[in-house]
Each structure stands twice: as structure tokens, then as C-alpha cells.
């Protein structure tokens, strides 16, 4: 057996700067040193063995002579590690004669009066794989089952279990022995070990024992209850007819005091039966666990279980009645837990309980009103977004939600206010019966809005959806928000007026003051000044004085809509219509005057000035056909946009659940085989064993999810490291897991010599870290071997692994030889998956991210849409801009893209490209791509990936330059 195939139970860190002594120094310490010196020397010897150093046979006798007789507990524990690491057989596979002395020493330790020595020796025996050493110790191991201390007894059970599993002939009556022991044992840990052994080696005896004490299962310790849950699952999974026998036991365990037992019992109950009562009991247990657990990671894991339950349509009906219980999870402080809970509750809410859910969320909103930290603001955003979606989903409750959401228009959190204004726009459009109430609430809320963009969105909604008679009220609201006109004259007049402050001074004369007990107290004379608070400026005027002149351009559109509606009501050319239009023109002219006056330091955009000037001309002279564009055509465009958003939202809901996993379908193919449970063989297992799949995932042997498998085949990941003429040929298979990279390097000896100490030396650049040093191997002539190395990845950044192979030639006196290998480049695409965020979140993240990388577009691709799809496919970034927004041919294209990394990082990209000659299909594409990310490494590497993608086809080959 090679060194790489030997079993390993103990991992010991060897310092890189550790100085290992020679054999003579070790022998001297063993012979003449005390227990401390011997322990230290034994540790150094273990380091040497683990490093592959060869030791003489006499060294083993020194350890037996001078270390085995010691009674020092530290030395005895170190000896257990030494006997685990040291080779126990010769080159022919026969047991060394010295091991007989070791066996006798451990027979004495198994009879030692100290329970620690006995227990640690029994634990060591679980790791032995030599039956010749174990056979003389069997009577002593049996005797340990009757020891007075539970530590010895439970380790004796583990030793018997391991020996029976590996060498059944040494103790063939182990199941009967442990069954008798289990009937008399009282300690919980000992009973757990014994029952676990019967579960794995003799399930019939374990079931007989469980049937005899099934009434007392609720009083057992949690460690034994966990094993009972595992046994019931395995038995019922293998033989579904046993479910009725043990289902009551699971119901008892689901009420256990231990959170771990309740979680496993609920999971087992769901997998064994689909009865509504069982689903409700399991879901209630999950909810109770989430509420009572303090660890947010545990809460998220259990929430994922609830989401998985919801994926089945039959379970969804049961969970709909537990929506209010699920909302109890919102008392948890974690933002991610709250967001996932709101998403799940929104998916489950029905018309029966939507009003209760809305009332609960209103209370949560009121709780967050007095707190202003960042996480609390994001929680308010999530609450507003949930209420928005619930209103569109159930229009009947809109009347109770609208007053609550209107309060958020004056919120300092712009994102929350943005969600509210989007809700108002959609509700006014889709709920005509509530239009008048919503518009009235919006008029009352406008004076208190603190954000310019929200203010103008509210005015736009009022102008678009108010009736012709309400146009005058909206104009009055605009004038009230602007204050006195013209703006420049009123501001200059206000600055010229002397500042008069109404002050009222009250002076209290100083003097002695007599207290209640008759003593004198000193009193300070204070002057109190009351200053009359200066009147604040109206909101729209304040925004304009702060340089927000884009509001003027937006206000021009609003005034055009109002003038058109008022003219339709009163007739063109009438005095009332002309006065209304003159008022609108005065407002715009006053804003233009303010922009050009130099009264404020901010420079106005020429586009905004052109827009306002053009609208003054439209209002004054009128342009045939343009009124329709501002009126009905605008509403039609809004309806198309809202319809596209609804379709995309439904498509996303059909494809994904709240956790991002695919929902189960209620339909089946017409030719699918029908499975009859009654006709199944007893040995036929139903579905996948959860315990086996969990173990395979932990060991890394589970099949990889195709979602993250970006390679078409394994051969695509093989990299040639050395040439065919090198003494050693090498190639590597790069296996990218979630957080690490496994290099499986094949090395071939192409010489006629035996190569010794063939070592693979690795060095990394970037955010990569080598986990362990590969073990040296020996290669016979024309022989080959595989060397594996693991590299940890900490962030999304391109990395490079440099490698060399060094070796010695047997019989040669020359220096150590070396072969330099090809660099291994780690691609960022192995860690990036498509992301999905809405427009508001995209804008917020775009402003928050610190790093930006601007890439100029240089590509032979001539079609704009093909270029965008090529970028999305090559970089695993999802196009967030809807198809309706980028369809058609207009000579330019602007789109947003998003991607997430498996390390929790986000990357955003904005593509702005156009045809150099819009009328010529063969003209090149020009423009740029802006990338933003939170980390510099991801921003730069994603820019490099985009640059290379623009110069290559989808198959990775360079694009041939287009002919002129």
C-alpha cells in the first residue's frame, strides 16, 4: 500500500521552520531524558515520519524500551499518535516482531485502574487495521463493557463496533453482546453508542429494542433520539410499509426539547409522508425553531426547508394557513432572514389572510419609524416592496394599504420612497376605482416630500391621471411649491431686506435662594433668547435653488399635460385657457431666468434649457399632433411598460421560488410510467436517501450541479504542463469546486531511470492559497502517478499557479533535477453566476460601489443585439433590460447587466453602444462598457474578461477581422 493510500486519522501541523534532529540526538533523549524530554523527542519523531523521512528499525526499540513503561499521561497520549503513524509491517506486509511488545503494553493499559488510560487506549484501538494486534486484546475489550466509569464503557462499545465492522471473525457475537449490554445500561452516551452500532450492523435487533421502549422515547437523551430518528428514516425509506409502525414515534420526537432532534424529526416526517397533518406539524416545528434560535445561519437553513416544502402544490395549500406564524420570524434581527421571510409569506398569502398580513406589516412599519440605522432602512424598503406586491396581487386590500404607504413619500430613505411612488403609479393605472382616493392622498403628501426625483414623479402622476377639472388644482399645487414668482426677483428682494430677529430676553436677577431646609443656594443669572424661526422655502423652490434644474425640464412636461387638459375642458382660445397657459409659461420662464442669473453656483445643463424653451413655444403657439403624444400616447406607453414588467415577474415566479430553486411542476408527460406503491418490491427504495446524499456532499463525492458546471466536458479542463520531450511529462485536470480548486496532476516518467523524491512544487499569485504540500513519490522507468493538490480561493479574482517538478535519479551523484511547468491560469468565470436585481436596487448598488472600470468597445461583430448576447454568454452576466426595451433597430443600444459571485460579491455593467453609421449595416460598433464592483480585483478582472470576449467568438476562437 502506497503512502497516499494509508488511512489517516490525525492531522498534525508541522511548522515550516521546525528543525528536525538526527536519529542519534533522538536516541540520546529517549535514553537519558525525563518524561518531558521524551515527549518532545517523540513529537519530533512523529513530524519526521509524517514528512516521509526514513527511520531505522532500532528507533522503534528505543521507543518501546524507554517510553512504553512510563506512566505519564501526556507521554501515553503522544504514544497513541505515534503508533497510529508508524509503519507496523515490513516490506512484505508481515507484522513487525516489535509490535508484539506493543500489544502486550496495551493489554496492560486496557486493565489500568485509571479510566482515562483505558478510554484513550480503546479509542486508539478503533484506528488499528491489523487483526494480529487486535486478537490478543479481545478479552480485555469485552471486560471493559462492565467497567464502573461510563467513559470506558462507551469507548468499549465504539471499539467493538469498529472491530466487528472490519474483522467480524474476531468477535462474531458482537450484536448479541451489545444487545444484552443495552438492556442493562443507564448512561445516555453509552446507550447512544450501543444503539448506533445495532442500527448499522443489525437493524432487526435495533427495531426490537425500539419497539420495546417506544413509549419512553420522549424521555431519552437528545443524542439517543437523533440515532432513533436516523434508524426510523432508514427503515421506512427501505420498506415504506413500516411507516405506520413508527410514525407516532416521529410525532413524539418532533416535540422534543432539543432543537437538533426537532429539526431532524421534522425533516424525516416530511420525507416519509405527504399527509397534510404531517406537513403542518413539520412546518410548525420549523417555524418554532426559527423563532427560538439565535444563530442567523440556522434560521436561514431552516427557512430554506420551509421554502422547499412550499415547492409542492399540495404542501402549499397547507402552508397558506401558517402565513401569520411565518411572519413571527420578522422579530429576528437579521436582514437576510427578514427578506427571505417576507418573500416566502408573499408567495403563500391568499385572499383569506391577506388583510391580517397587511395589518401585521403595518405594525412592523410603525416599529421602524423611530430608528434610522442603515439596516433598518433596508428593512423598511423590504416591507414597502412586500406591501406593493400584495396590493397588486390582491386589489381589495389596496384601500387599507394606500394611507400607510403614502407616509413613506416623505421618508428620507430614497429607495423606500421610490418603491412607494412606483406602487402609486401602478395602482392608479390598474385600480381605477381607487384613483380619486390615491390622487387625493398624493396631493396631501407632496409638500412633505424631501427628494427631488420623488417630488417630480408625484407631480407627473398627478398631471397624467387627474381629470380636466383637476388641472387647475394641480397648477395651484405647483405654484404653492414654487413660492413667489418670479423667483430671481423675490430672492434678491429677500436678500436686501435687513435681517430682523424677534428676540425676547428674560433676565433673572442673581441673588440668594432659600431652599426647603432653610439653607441658601447660589443661583446663576441666565439670559434666555427666543429667536423666531425663519420660514422654510417651499419644496420645489428649495430643490431649484440647490441646482436641481432637471426638475424644470420634468416640470415642463407636467405643465404641458395640464395645459392640454385645461384647454380641452374650456376650449381653445378662451380667456381661461389663455390665462392658464400664461401661468405655465411664467413658471418656466422664471426657472430659465433663475438658471441664467448666476444666483446659484450650480451650472444648468443645456439640454434642460432647450427642453424648457421648447415647451414654452409649444404652450404658446401649439404644434398639431403633439397634444396626442403628451396625452393618450404617454398612457399607452406606460401601460406597455407595466405589462412587460408583469409578464417578466410572472415568468420569474414560474421558474424560481424565493430561494432561487426550480419549482416542482404539477404536470407530467403523457407517456410517463405510472408507479404503483403496492406493486413495488420490498427492497426497492423510494427516492434518494437523505443521509447518504448529505454524507456524499460532505465528502465531495456528490454529483456537481449542472448550474455551476460551465465546462462542456472534463477534457476541456485538462492543461498540458510539460512537453513530450521532457524527462517527466505532466498534465493537470483542474476541478473547480465552490471554494477551492483541486489539481489532479498526472506525471509520467519518460526515462529509463528510477526517479526518487519526485516533488510537485506549487506557488500562487492572486487571492489563492495552497492548502497542503503534495507528497513526494518514486517513479519506476516509464511509470506514471497522480498527485493531487488543493488550492483555496478567497475572492473573485484571476489567479495564476506556477509549478515545477524536482526529482533525483537513483544512482546518480548529480544535483537535484528540475522541470519547469506551464502556468495554470484560474478563470474568473468559474465563480460567477448570473444575477438578478430590479431597477431600484441596480441604481442603489451602482451608486454604492466604489470601483469602476471603463472598457472601450472594439469588436468585429456588426449587429448590436448579437454583440449584447455574446457579452452575456461569455461573461455569465444576465441582461436586466427587458426585451421590449431593446427590440427593434434604431442604431444604438443601452442595457444593464448583473452577475453574482459565489463569495457574495456583486458586479454590475452598463453597455452603451451604437453604430458608427446607423444606416450602414456593415459599419462598426462603437461605445463603451462601464463595470462597477465593490472590490478592485473583481472590477479589473471582469474588464479583462469583457475585453477578451469582444475579440472572440462564442466558441472561444478569435473572430476574423471583417473585410473593409
Query: Pairing mode, if any, of strands 906-915 and 755-765?
Result: unpaired
pTM of the model: 0.66
Q: Which residues contact 647 (CB under 8 A, 6 or more apart)?
A: none
The pLDDT score that the predictor gives to residue 515 is 56
Q: How far apart are CA 876 and CA 894, in angstroms?
A: 18
The pLDDT score that the predictor gives to residue 370 is 66
The pLDDT score that the predictor gives to residue 644 is 66
**C-alpha grid cell for residue 923?**
459599419
Q: Which residues contact 257 (CB under 8 A, 6 or more apart)?
A: 222
**DSSP secondary structure letters along 560-621:** HHHHHHHHHHH-TT-HHHHHHHHHHHHHHHHHHHHHHHT-SSSPPPHHHHHHHHHHHHHHHH
The pLDDT score that the predictor gives to residue 205 is 87
The pLDDT score that the predictor gives to residue 686 is 47
Other Cβ atoms within 10 Å of 524 Cβ, number: 6
Q: How far apart are CA 20 and CA 632, in angstroms?
A: 87
The pLDDT score that the predictor gives to residue 109 is 85
The pLDDT score that the predictor gives to residue 10 is 61
Residues of the chain where predicted confidence (pLDDT) is lower than 70: 1-18, 51-52, 369-374, 411-413, 497-535, 622-633, 635, 643-716, 738, 767, 794-798, 811-814, 952-964
- What residue segments make up the domains of the chain, in order of their start? 214-269, 466-491+538-621, 714-826, 830-951
Q: Of 750, 772, 775, which is closest to residue 760 (Cα–Cα)?
A: 775
What does the radius of gyration of the chain's CA atoms come to, in whole angstroms?
A: 39
pLDDT tens, 455-500? 888 888 888 888 777 778 888 888 888 888 777 777 787 777 655 4
Q: Of 831, 800, 818, which is closest to residue 719 (Cα–Cα)?
A: 800
Cβ burial 23-43 (10 Å sphere, 16+ → b, else e): beebbebbeeeeeeebbebbe
The pLDDT score that the predictor gives to residue 3 is 44
The pLDDT score that the predictor gives to residue 13 is 67
Apex 248 CA angle, 245 and 249, nearest 5: 90
The pLDDT score that the predictor gives to residue 915 is 85
The pLDDT score that the predictor gives to residue 963 is 35
The pLDDT score that the predictor gives to residue 692 is 61
Write the secondary structure of 305-332 as one string of H (helix), E (strand) and C (coil): HHHHHHCCHHHHHHHHCCHHHHHHHHHC
Q: How far apart are CA 791 and CA 770, in angstroms?
A: 5
Other Cβ atoms within 10 Å of 776 Cβ, number: 17
Domain 714-826 coded CATH 3.30.70.20: no
Domain 830-951: give its CATH code.
Answer: 3.30.310.10
The pLDDT score that the predictor gives to residue 930 is 92
The pLDDT score that the predictor gives to residue 334 is 81
Which of 861-865's residues contact partners 24+ apart within 8 Å by CB, and which partners? 861/925, 861/950, 861/959, 862/921, 862/922, 862/923, 862/924, 862/925, 862/962, 864/892, 864/893, 864/913, 864/914, 864/915, 864/925, 865/893
The pLDDT score that the predictor gives to residue 601 is 72
Apex 820 CA angle, 818 and 822, nearest 5: 160
Which segments within 737-871 are labelled E, that is strand? Answer: 740-749, 755-765, 768-770, 777-779, 784-793, 799-809, 817-820, 824-826, 832-834, 851-856
The pLDDT score that the predictor gives to residue 566 is 81
Amino acid at each position: 500500500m502506497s503512502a497516499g493510500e494509508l488511512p489517516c486519522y490525525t492531522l498534525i501541523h508541522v511548522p515550516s521552520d521546525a528543525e528536525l534532529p538526527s536519529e542519534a540526538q533522538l536516541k540520546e533523549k529517549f535514553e537519558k531524558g525525563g518524561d518531558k524530554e521524551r515527549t518532545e523527542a517523540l513529537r519530533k519523531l512523529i513530524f519526521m515520519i509524517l514528512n516521509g523521512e526514513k527511520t531505522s528499525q532500532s528507533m522503534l526499540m528505543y521507543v518501546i524500551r524507554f517510553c512504553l513503561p512510563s506512566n505519564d499521561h501526556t507521554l501515553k497520549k503522544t504514544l497513541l499518535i505515534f503508533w497510529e503513524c508508524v509503519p507496523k509491517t515490513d516490506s512484505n506486509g508481515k507484522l513487525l516482531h516489535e509490535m508484539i511488545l506493543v500489544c502486550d503494553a496495551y493489554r496492560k493499559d486496557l486493565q489500568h485502574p485509571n479510566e482515562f488510560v483505558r478510554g484513550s487506549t480503546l479509542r486508539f484501538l478503533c484506528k488499528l487495521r491489523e487483526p494480529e494486534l487486535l486478537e490478543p486484546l479481545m478479552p480485555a475489550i469485552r471486560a471493559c463493557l462492565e467497567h464502573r466509569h461510563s467513559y470506558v464503557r462507551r469507548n468499549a462499545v465504539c471499539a467493538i463496533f469498529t472491530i466487528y465492522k472490519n474483522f467480524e471473525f474476531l468477535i462474531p457475537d458482537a450484536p448479541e453482546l451489545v444487545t444484552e449490554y443495552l438492556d442493562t445500561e443507564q448512561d445516555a452516551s453509552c446507550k447512544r453508542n450501543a444503539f448506533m452500532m445495532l442500527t448499522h450492523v443489525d437493524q432487526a435487533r435495533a427495531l426490537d429494542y425500539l419497539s420495546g421502549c417506544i413509549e419512553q422515547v420522549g424521555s431519552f437523551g437528545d443524542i439517543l433520539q437523533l440515532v432513533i430518528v436516523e434508524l426510523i428514516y432508514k427503515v421506512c425509506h427501505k420498506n415504506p410499509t413500516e411507516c405506520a409502525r413508527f410514525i407516532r414515534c416521529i410525532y413524539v420526537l418532533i416535540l422534543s426539547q432539543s432543537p437538533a432532534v426537532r429539526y431532524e424529526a421534522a425533516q424525516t416526517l416530511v420525507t416519509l409522508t405527504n399527509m397534510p397533518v404531517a406537513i403542518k406539524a413539520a412546518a410548525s416545528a420549523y417555524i418554532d425553531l426559527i423563532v427560538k434560535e439565535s444563530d442567523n445561519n440556522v434560521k436561514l437553513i431552516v427557512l430554506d426547508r420551509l421554502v422547499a416544502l412550499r415547492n409542492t402544490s399540495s404542501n402549499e395549500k397547507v402552508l397558506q394557513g401558517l402565513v401569520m406564524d411565518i411572519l413571527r420570524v420578522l422579530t429576528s434581527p437579521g436582514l437576510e432572514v427578514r427578506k427571505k421571510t417576507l418573500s416566502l409569506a408573499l408567495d403563500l398569502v391568499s385572499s383569506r389572510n391577506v388583510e391580517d398580513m397587511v395589518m401585521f406589516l403595518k405594525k412592523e412599519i410603525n416599529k421602524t419609524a423611530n430608528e434610522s440605522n442603515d439596516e433598518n432602512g433596508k428593512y423598511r424598503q423590504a416591507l414597502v416592496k412586500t406591501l406593493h406586491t400584495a396590493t397588486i396581487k390582491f386589489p381589495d386590500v389596496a384601500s387599507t394599504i394606500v394611507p400607510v404607504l403614502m407616509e413613506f413619500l416623505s421618508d428620507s430613505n430614497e429607495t423606500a420612497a421610490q418603491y412607494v411612488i412606483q406602487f402609486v403609479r401602478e395602482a392608479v393605472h390598474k385600480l381605477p376605482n381607487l384613483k380619486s382616493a390615491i390622487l387625493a392622498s398624493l396631493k396631501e403628501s407632496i409638500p412633505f416630500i424631501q427628494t427631488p426625483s420623488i417630488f417630480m414623479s408625484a407631480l407627473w402622476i398627478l398631471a397624467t391621471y387627474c381629470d380636466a377639472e383637476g388641472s387647475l388644482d394641480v397648477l395651484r399645487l405647483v405654484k404653492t411649491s414654487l413660492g413667489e414668482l418670479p423667483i430671481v426677483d423675490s430672492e434678491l428682494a429677500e436678500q436686501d431686506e435687513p435681517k430682523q430677529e424677534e428676540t425676547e430676553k428674560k433676565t433673572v436677577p442673581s441673588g440668594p435662594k432659600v431652599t426647603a431646609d432653610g439653607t441658601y443656594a447660589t443661583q446663576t443669572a441666565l439670559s434666555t433668547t427666543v429667536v423666531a424661526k425663519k420660514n422654510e422655502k417651499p419644496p420645489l423652490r428649495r430643490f431649484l435653488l440647490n441646482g436641481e434644474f432637471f426638475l424644470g425640464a420634468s416640470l415642463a412636461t407636467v405643465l404641458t399635460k395640464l395645459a392640454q387638459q385645461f384647454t380641452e375642458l374650456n376650449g381653445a382660445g378662451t380667456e381661461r385657457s389663455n390665462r392658464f397657459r400664461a401661468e405655465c409659461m411664467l413658471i418656466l420662464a422664471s426657472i430659465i431666468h433663475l438658471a441664467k442669473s448666476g444666483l446659484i453656483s450650480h451650472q444648468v445643463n443645456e439640454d434642460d434649457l432647450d427642453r424648457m424653451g421648447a415647451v414654452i413655444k409649444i404652450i404658446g403657439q401649439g404644434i398639431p399632433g403633439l397634444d396626442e403624444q403628451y396625452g393618450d400616447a404617454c398612457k399607452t406607453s406606460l401601460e406597455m411598460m407595466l405589462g412587460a414588467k408583469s409578464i417578466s415577474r410572472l415568468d420569474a415566479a414560474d421558474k424560481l421560488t424565493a430561494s432561487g430553486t426550480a419549482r416542482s411542476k404539477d404536470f407530467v408527460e403523457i407517456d410517463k410510467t405510472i408507479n404503483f406503491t403496492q406493486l413495488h418490491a420490498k427492497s426497492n427504495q423510494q427516492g434518494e436517501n437523505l443521509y447518504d446524499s448529505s454524507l456524499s456532499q460532505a465528502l465531495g463525492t456528490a454529483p456537481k450541479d449542472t448550474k455551476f458546471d460551465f465546462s462542456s466536458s472534463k477534457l476541456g479542463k485538462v492543461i498540458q504542463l510539460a512537453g513530450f520531450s521532457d524527462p517527466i511529462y505532466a498534465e493537470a485536470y483542474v476541478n473547480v469546486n465552490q471554494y477551492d480548486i483541486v489539481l489532479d496532476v498526472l506525471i509520467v516518467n519518460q526515462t529509463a531511470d528510477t526517479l526518487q523524491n519526485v516533488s510537485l512544487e506549487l506557488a500562487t499569485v492572486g487571492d489563492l492559497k495552497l492548502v497542503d504540500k503534495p507528497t513526494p513519490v518514486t517513479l519506476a522507468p516509464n511509470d506514471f502517478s497522480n498527485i493531487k493538490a488543493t488550492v483555496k480561493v478567497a475572492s473573485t479574482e484571476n489567479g495564476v499557479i506556477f509549478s515545477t517538478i524536482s526529482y533525483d535519479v537513483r544512482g546518480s551523484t548529480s544535483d537535484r533535477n528540475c522541470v519547469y511547468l506551464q502556468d495554470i491560469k484560474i478563470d474568473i468565470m468559474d465563480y460567477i453566476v448570473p444575477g438578478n436585481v430590479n431597477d431600484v436596487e441596480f441604481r442603489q448598488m451602482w451608486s454604492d460601489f466604489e470601483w469602476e472600470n471603463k472598457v472601450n468597445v472594439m469588436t468585429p461583430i456588426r449587429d448590436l443585439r448579437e454583440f449584447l448576447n455574446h457579452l452575456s454568454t461569455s461573461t455569465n452576466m444576465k441582461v436586466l433590460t427587458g426585451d421590449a426595451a431593446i427590440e427593434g433597430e434604431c442604431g444604438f443600444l443601452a442595457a444593464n447587466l448583473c452577475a453574482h459571485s459565489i463569495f457574495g460579491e456583486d458586479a454590475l455593467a452598463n453597455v452603451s453602444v451604437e453604430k458608427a453609421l446607423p444606416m450602414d449595416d456593415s459599419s462598426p460598433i462603437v461605445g463603451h462598457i462601464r463595470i462597477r464592483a465593490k472590490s478592485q480585483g473583481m472590477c479589473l478582472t471582469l474588464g479583462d474578461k469583457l475585453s477578451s470576449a469582444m475579440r472572440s467568438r462564442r466558441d472561444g476562437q478569435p473572430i476574423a477581422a471583417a473585410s473593409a
